[in-house]
Structure 1
Amino acid sequence: MSVRTAVNGFFFEPVPLGRVAAMRFLAGLYVWIEWWAYMPFIFRHRFVPEELYQPLFIGRVLPIPAPDYWTVTGTLVVMLAAATPMMFGYRPKLFGWILFVAYFEWMIIANSYGKVDHASFGFMTLLLVLCMMPSGARWGDRETPSERAGWGFKLVQLGVVCTYFLSAWAKFRYGGFDWADSGVFTWAIIRRGTVFSEWMLDFPRLLHAAQWGMIAFELLTPVVLLVYRWKKVQYAIVAFLYCFHVTVFAALGISFLPHLVAMACFLPLERIDPRDMYRNAKARFTTPKDEPAAREPEPQFESSP
């Protein structure tokens, strides 16, 4: 196998269009959840004085004004209005582009007041590539593979892995090995620990080892990309990543929900068809009384000669 063939097989691995429909729905659903349940503080920025606005680099390069009441409110309205038709497959490219632009501004508003989150990097990549996916994607379509969809989801997967890998790089860049040798986990548990993690304060060596384990874990995440030919192994690694985030949420209350939505593009979501699920559920809960009774066959009498 030539290098070019291997590279094309990696980046353009065909993906069924059913996965595109599922990811569009998940992306739109998350947008509806984020503003009122996951990060409601973003909407409250409409009341923050403009003097506290510290724009990101992209906010300084582009002519984006400081957010005010109407900018924040209008961005939210446009974002929700575009997410609804896109998630149900109506004009997904048109409304996908509108959603991406609105969410881009939404993230500038969220991260320009002194705190920058990295959990949304993979999700923003997902919104961008969904704009370029085939419009005719339908739930449960396993029979229509698409190299364009495979290329797009591969970019999202790279974004997901970069979220981990570059996080480890940032630790070394700003803290060196002192981050792993510090008491950052102890500080985190004291600050926002739960009943699932407070007991670890009695075991400082365990916390110290966990910090080194965190760095090793983040540096090894590119493995999930290299095993793309062995799907069961890849699914097992993705399941481990989901379990890791569930553990972090239980221990510290830190959630990476947009990251987890983007990571779903690794999974065979094309196997999900809501119509089949509805029909199966209806058939399972239908009682015999709801079905018409079968008519008994009428007796047949032979005519006498």
Structure 2
Amino acid sequence: MTPLPLAQKATGWFFQPVALGRVAAMRFLAGAFIWVDWWWYMPWIIGHRHVPGELYQPLFIARVLPVFPVPNFEIVVGTLVVLLAASVPMMFNKAPRLFGWIVAIAYFEWMIIAMSYGKVDHGKFGFLILLFLLPTMPKARWGDRRNLSEHVGWGFNLVQIGVVCTYFFAAWAKIRYGGWEWVNSATMTWAILRRGTEYSNWLLEYPGLLRLSQWGMVGFELLSPVVMFVAAKRLKYGIVAFFYCFHLTVFLAVEISFLPHMVAMACFLPLERINPRELIRNAPRLPGLIRRKLKARKAVPAQTRPGEAAREAEPAS
């Protein structure tokens, strides 16, 4: 029995081959963010080593899988040490599967420690999926565009679905818990009053514009799955660039950052084109290369239509 054309298209889309160079780039970005995370992005997590165990209210998954002990000084510090130590070889593609699994499990425990005291962030969902899928991918090197893998395509598609679900279900949660008042009330006004910056305080004088931004935000989140089905690469990259600009705007307006989500979203991009060794090697020659290209462009004679005399060159100033 031959598979239906629709099933063939779905399978081809889901397992579309991706260059291995993207795996090396995403491993480096994931490992680098882990260091940024504990040192700058969420440094308050390490403070839970001093929090009394009576305040620990484990997340649902920690209650379903009772393998997560109550955090104390040794568990919090030990988890962080293991996480940081394993992330370095993973970044540089040394035994990436072994250290990738260690990083994924340690970071998952790190999130249990972080989010079991009343604050739960949805911006880490895509990043967690990325960490658990990177160990399943083969060893890779920067700039490898020749070797393609359907398994890598499958893994990054799952990460992309996780990124899109973060947007879509954020809109669903707004409507579910806040109702349509979320978009019709002064939600952004309240946010700017609490966390406004010099870039957004002026918007308080335009409540209608803030209400329009609330509708635009929910509309954008509901339509975000479109990026998964766009075939034209330039259009897809343009949509992803809009996602990044959206998060930059939110950060400038109310200082809410989705940095781990933005790291996971990088799997949409053709990072296999980046080769750090070539960039470093060509860096000293880059100004000369740019000048030569500009001179070559100027040297090309202007194309003239048939029967039209060519323009005389203008004198150099």
Query: TM-score normalized by structure 2?
Result: 0.88
| Residue matched to 2:70 | 66
| Residue matched to 2:303 | none
Alignment RMSD (CA, Å):
1.2
The one-letter code of the counterpart of 1:6 is K
The alignment status of 1:47 with 2:50, answered yes or no, reads yes
5 Å matches for 1:1-305?
2-63=5-66, 64-135=68-139, 137-227=140-230, 229-284=231-286
After TM superposition, the structure 1 stretch with the greater mean CA deviation from structure 2, 46-55 or 116-125, is 46-55
Query: TM-score normalized by structure 1?
Result: 0.91
Distance 1:250 1:285 in 2: 33
Runs of 5+ consecutive residues of structure 2 not aligned to the other structure = 289-317
How far does residue 60 in structure 1 lie from its aligned partner after superposition?
1.2
1:225-248 Cα distance to aligned partner (Å, 9 max, x none): 010x21100000000000010111
Distance 2:239 2:131 in 1: 24
Runs of 5+ consecutive residues of structure 1 not aligned to the other structure = 287-305
How far does residue 284 in structure 1 lie from its aligned partner after superposition?
4.5
Distance 1:140 1:67 in 2: 41
After TM superposition, the structure 1 stretch with the greater mean CA deviation from structure 2, 172-181 or 251-260, is 172-181
Percent identity of the aligned residues?
A: 63
The one-letter code of the counterpart of 1:118 is H
1:156-189 Cα distance to aligned partner (Å, 9 max, x none): 0000000000001111111221211221111110
How far does residue 47 in structure 1 lie from its aligned partner after superposition?
1.2
1:240-267 Cα distance to aligned partner (Å, 9 max, x none): 0000101111111111000000000000
Distance 1:244 1:27 in 2: 21
Distance 2:286 2:168 in 1: 46
